[in-house]
Amino acid sequence: RRAEYASLKNLPSVTTDGERMTLMVNAGLAEDAAALHLAGADGIGLFRTEFQFLIAAQLPGRESQLRLYKQVLDAAGDKPVVFRTVDIGGDKALPYLTDEKDEAENPAMGWRALRLSLERTTLMKAQARALIEASKGRVLRVMFPMVSEPWEYEEARALFEEQLAWSKRAKKPVPKSIEFGAMLEVPSLAEMLDELLPRVDFLSIGTNDLTQFLFAADRADPRLAERYDWLSPAILRFLRRVVRQADAAGVPVRVCGEMGGRPLEAMALIGVGIGNFSITPAAVGPVKAMIRSLDAGAARARMEKLLAKPPRDMRKALHDWAKRHS
């Protein structure tokens, strides 16, 4: 199969009925950037900027952030890179950032990601300045993790816009333009899409966190791993509703969680109307192979039927359908 996937490297992710899907990769280190070319991907759909913080002994300064972001953008060449602002705190606590170990009982639901960034604005401003300067003359694509309510997104975006204005006044390098996105990984945000959608350039669904919050099931607990399925009707209906609202508002929806990295799950995502995935580089071949043998229109029609009256075993139903159709 390896050889089969390798032979797909330079072929587009097009379905049998002619729909072009986008396959990007998740990355977090400068070295990962090269993987996108090796995998034959369309870009980096999630660059986890916190990796640099997690492996450092002290808070990375603006200069070292700038260096990393430039390296990543250079490695990506003309392919897009979506930078996510730091998702630290909670279980990814940094010794040099908080005085003591974070003893929160539920760190995943704790003081992390944007919640922390909006309070530690010095940190976020430094990151904004580094991203702005690194993207000189290009499009800067940035998204915020763990947005729970639209005002959090607005505050984060305003902070970036202030830094952009500052950079312009100081005659520093600035991007050609900035695209702002929100990660949808906290279910509460889905109830506020009417307010959020007019303000974002894209939505990126983090299915890892979304699943754990939707089901109240710790993503790190192996005892629950088999229990809550990405192919459950609850998740698929949730996603379909989000896609419908976003489509109506003309906002592109992407998935950057691991769900998109499995062929059957990716097929289900196409079934609910999503065609842009950011996945682990090793998954690009298998997912591309699936896409190239899939009739997207038929998958959507099938999904519509299945979600109207969900079978007890959605995974089996989708698996059986996939077997018959490709």
User: By the criterion CB under 6 A, which residues form the site for ligand PEP?
Assistant: 46, 48, 87, 185, 206-209, 256-257
Distance CA 227, CA 311 (A): 16
Q: What are phi and psi of 15, to 5 degrees?
A: -80, 170
Site string for Mg ion, 158-197 (x = CB under 5 A): ---------------------------x------------
Nearer residue to ligand PEP within complex by CB, 206 or 285 = 206
Q: Does 260 bind Mg ion (CB under 5 A)?
A: no
Q: Which of 32, 42, 209, 258 binds Mg ion (CB under 5 A)?
A: 209
Q: Does 206 bind Mg ion (CB under 5 A)?
A: yes
Distance CA 198, CA 64 (A): 34
In the Cβ-directed half-sphere of 169, how many Cα atoms lie within 13 Å? 7
Q: Binds 207, which of Mg ion, ligand PEP, none (CB < 5 to 8 A, cut-off by type)? A: ligand PEP
Distance CA 180, CA 182 (A): 7
Q: Give the nearest distance from C-beta 48 to ligand PEP in angstroms.
A: 5
Nearer residue to Mg ion within complex by CB, 32 or 185 = 185
Angle of CA points 57, 88, 201, to nearest 5°: 130
Nearer residue to ligand PEP within complex by CB, 87 or 265 = 87
Distance CA 120, CA 177 (A): 25
Q: How far is CA 155 from the centre of its chain?
A: 20
Q: Give the nearest distance from C-beta 312 to ligand PEP in angstroms.
A: 26
Nearer residue to ligand PEP within complex by CB, 175 or 257 = 257
Nearer residue to ligand PEP within complex by CB, 181 or 206 = 206
Report the number of secondary-structure helices (H) and strands (E) in the chain: 15, 8
C-alpha dihedral sign at 199, 182, 147, 255: positive
Q: Which residues bind Mg ion (CB under 5 A)?
A: 185, 206, 209
